[in-house]
Amino acid sequence: MAAFPDRIAYPGLWGTMSKLSTKIQEELVALIPPTIFFFITLNLVALMRTLMLKGTGISVSTPIQTAVAALILGKAVLIADMLPFINRYPDKPLAYNVAWKTSIYALIATLIHYLERLVEFWREAGGFVAGNQKLLAEMVWPHFWAIQILLVVLIFSYCVIDEVVRAVGVKKMREMFFGPTSDTRI
What does the pLDDT read at residue 1? 47
The pTM (predicted TM-score) of the whole model is 0.69
What does the pLDDT read at residue 68? 78
110 residue type, one letter: T
Spatial CA neighbour of 105 closest among 146, 142, 148:
148
Strand, helix or coil for residue 139: coil
Neighbours of 97 (CB within 10 A): 21
What does the pLDDT read at residue 15? 56
How far, in Å, CA of 98 to CA of 165, rounded?
Answer: 12
How distant is the alpha carbon of residue 177 from its chain centre? 22
Those residues whose C-beta lies under 8 Å from the C-beta of residue 88, and which sit 6 or more positions away, are 96, 97, 100
How distant is the alpha carbon of residue 145 from its chain centre? 20
93 residue type, one letter: P
pLDDT tens series, the chain, 186 aa = 445 454 455 555 555 667 778 888 888 888 888 888 888 888 888 888 788 777 776 666 677 877 877 887 787 777 777 778 877 887 889 999 999 989 988 888 788 778 878 888 888 888 899 999 998 998 888 878 887 888 888 889 989 998 899 899 988 988 988 888 776 554
Q: Where are the alpha helices (DSSP H) in 83-180?
A: 94-125, 128-138, 141-168, 170-178
How far, in Å, CA of 43 to CA of 45, rounded?
Answer: 5
